[in-house]
Structure 1
Amino acid sequence: MPSLVHVIGEALVDEFHDGHVAGGAPFNVARSLAALRAPVRFISRIGEGDAAGRLVLDSAVRFGLDVAGIQRDARHATGRVSVHESAGGGHRFEIHADAAWDHLEAPAGPAAGIVYFGSLAQRHAPSRAAIRAAVKRAPGLRLLDLNLRPGTDTPALAAESLMLADWVKINEDELDRLQAWFEADLAGLMARFALQCVVITRGEAGYAMYGEQGQLVSSGVGVPQPALVDTVGAGDAFTAMLLAGLALRRQLPDTLALANRYAAMICGVRGPLPLDPVRLTPWREALHALPAEEAHA
């Protein structure tokens, strides 16, 4: 049976110079999972009745994501992020303060299955407490997406999050910061925080996965994107496909290779996902066609 993926964290609106799109790393991951037909439950919080919140809900419905876990807040507005773009598809995020997702309430009961959580949604005490309570109750695999953004890029928050995780997904810049903060190489970091697996996304250079004692488990080269639009959401796409493969029990090397290609495709659309979910149909079919992992006696 597939595992349910519990995704908890921010849902917001990315404000580009030419329009607004729904975003937030957890929301990007959850929408991809829904479109890929992987079991997913999304827990977040938006403003009650504001335009940004309606955009979030409309996008969730369009991708087939159940909105029952999205809380409504009458006092705080839906989160907003101003995206400042640079030549070559790069970007810088300006994340506005005191959003509805900063006041997330913990879901009831243990989250059986896989749990995905990030660091950005822990920037304020209410959501930090809610997320940690949910993760601590989870009996299954806990995957941390360590997005080191201003306001949550501190050694203390990173350490506290890493101690809750089994698997971690980071990029090369984040790995460099962790190694500098904790004065340890990758193997040392994994030992210090009792991590089972670290997945490093390297942009144009591809990806690498490390297992016990920092040993390389799998890697792949970058996939060219000749029609680059922006890189927003590429890492989230990689994580979503990885989680989908884990949930559906597909063989890991094949899942990682598909995740790498999926992330490259996302770099060819505006924002973290295509406006039309139909564009994800070939990716869903490719995922479900992957060989199943071997059963263990």
Structure 2
Amino acid sequence: MKPKITVFGEMLWDMLPSGKQPGGAPMNVAIHLKNFGMNPAFISRVGDDDLGVELMEYLTNQEFNTDYIQTGITHLTGIVKVNLTDKTEVTYKIVQPVAWDYIQTTPENILLVKDSDVFVFGTLSVRSEQSRNALFELLNEAKLKVFDVNIRPPHLDRATTEFLLQQADIVKVNEQELNTVCGWFGIQPEVETQMKFLYERFHLKLVCVTLGADGAVVLSGNGFHRQGGYVVEVQDTIGSGDSFLAMFLKEYISGSSIPQALQKACAVGALVASYSGATPKISEAELDQFITIKQ
């Protein structure tokens, strides 16, 4: 029986120079989990507008579970203006307020989280009081809590981020986010030192840091685990870290070793970066062939 995974957070349209594409880190993670053979549930909110209808149609066409996505009539569906001047360092202008700022707690999503084996959440959706309160309530019901630290200035609050770190079991960050968080505590920018600090300070089970083209490193109770990067021709890095997290989680909770999970996660993150957009569908066959060729 497949583990039950619930993802909480923003869903939106990335407005790219080439046109709009579905996005939002939590939705990207959920879509990649679905593409990797899992059946995640997703708690979010869209507006009662054309963009909301189109986003829901996109998910429905992928046979994605939309049962827990709310529709509001007051606020518009979220959009993000994406700057791709540097393909490896994408920047975002995130419109506020929008529908996903107003995710509500319901009896249905409380039961959903109680029944889930894994609960995935990030930082951006807690920029608003409504969604923040909903997340905090759901965290009380969650089992294995996975915190994707997805810092998008100016949408960052130190006290809230620290609270979420205290709630988490597994934390995934990139190198810049690691520097930001550890800088609050005066920890010098050396990756393993910073990881050990987070692991011990917040009593975590795993800390996972993505290093871009240099791969990733995980700290667990068995020490550090490293995986080098895979060289690809980068189209853009949108969704690369989200696909990494989805694959790592899928492998980890399915019983793979951390080195095995890291290898597949780094490979799929590189493959996604070789496509345009956040959620290209990567098949197991394509992934296995890619790893074989690159070894």
Q: How big is the shift at 1:194?
A: 1.3
Give the Cα–Cα distance (whole angstroms) in 2 for the partners of residues 263 and 45 of structure 1.
Answer: 27
User: How much does 1:111 deviate?
Assistant: 4.2
Aligned equivalent of 1:84: 83
Alignment of 1:108-257 (within 5 A): 108-109=110-111, 110-138=114-142, 140-184=143-187, 185-212=194-221, 215-216=223-224, 218-226=225-233, 228-257=234-263
Aligned AA for 2:125?
A: A
1:53–1:247: structure 2 CA closer, same or farther, 3 Å change rule?
farther
Distance 1:267 1:62 in 2: 23
TM-score if structure 1 supplies the norm length? 0.88
Aligned-partner SS, 2:255: coil
C-alpha distance in 2, partners of 1:205/1:284?
18
1:179-218 C-alpha deviation (Å, 9 max, x unpaired): 11022433222222111110000000100001239x31x1
Question: Please, which runs of 5 or more residues in structure 1 have no aligned partner?
Answer: 287-297
Q: Tell me how far apart the structure 2 counterparts of residues 15 and 88 of structure 1 sit (CA, whole Å).
A: 15
Q: How does 1:5-44 map to 2 (within 5 A)?
A: 5-44=5-44
In angstroms, what is the RMSD of aligned CA positions? 1.8
8 A contact 1:28–1:237 mirrored in 2: yes
Helix, strand or coil at the partner of 2:55: helix
Contact 2:81 2:93 (C-alpha < 8 Å) held by counterparts: yes
Shift in Å at residue 157 of structure 1? Answer: 1.9
Measure how far apart 1:37 and its partner are: 1.2
Contact 2:87 / 2:237 at 8 angstroms: preserved in 1? no
The superposition leaves residues 21-68 of structure 1 with CA deviations (integer Å, 9 ceiling, x where unpaired) of 0000010011111111113111110012x2221232122123331111
Could you tell me which runs of 5 or more consecutive residues in structure 2 were left unpaired when the two chains were aligned.
188-193, 290-295
Indicate conservation of the 8 Å contact 1:44/1:71, yes or no. yes
CA distance in 1, matches of 2:227, 2:135: 32
2:229 corresponds to which letter in structure 1?
G
Give the distance between the partners of 2:283 and 2:253, measured in 1 at CA: 18
Whole-Å Cα distance in 1 between the matches of residues 198 and 217 of structure 2?
Answer: 16
The 10-residue stretch of structure 1 (161-170 or 32-41) with the greater mean CA deviation from structure 2: 32-41
Shift of residue 284 of structure 1?
A: 8.0
Give the distance between the partners of 1:90 and 1:59, measured in 2 at CA: 27
Letter in 1 for 2:256: R
Residue of structure 1 in register with 2:269 after alignment: 263
Alpha-carbon distance between aligned partners in 1 of 2:200 and 2:147, rounded to the nearest angstrom: 16
Which sits farther off after the overlay, 179-188 or 5-14?
Answer: 179-188
What is the aligned residue count? Answer: 278
The residue type equivalent to 2:6 in the other structure is H
Give yes or no for contact 2:78–2:98 (8 Å, CA) kept in 1. yes
| Stretch deviating more after TM superposition (59-68 or 99-108) | 59-68
TM-superposed CA distance for 1:149, in Å, is 1.0
| Shift >4 Å, 4+ stretches | 283-286
Residues 9, 121 of structure 2: 8 Å contact kept: yes
Please say if residues 206 and 219 of structure 2, whose CA atoms lie closer than 8 Å, have aligned partners that are also in contact. yes
- Aligned-residue sequence identity (percent) comes to 29
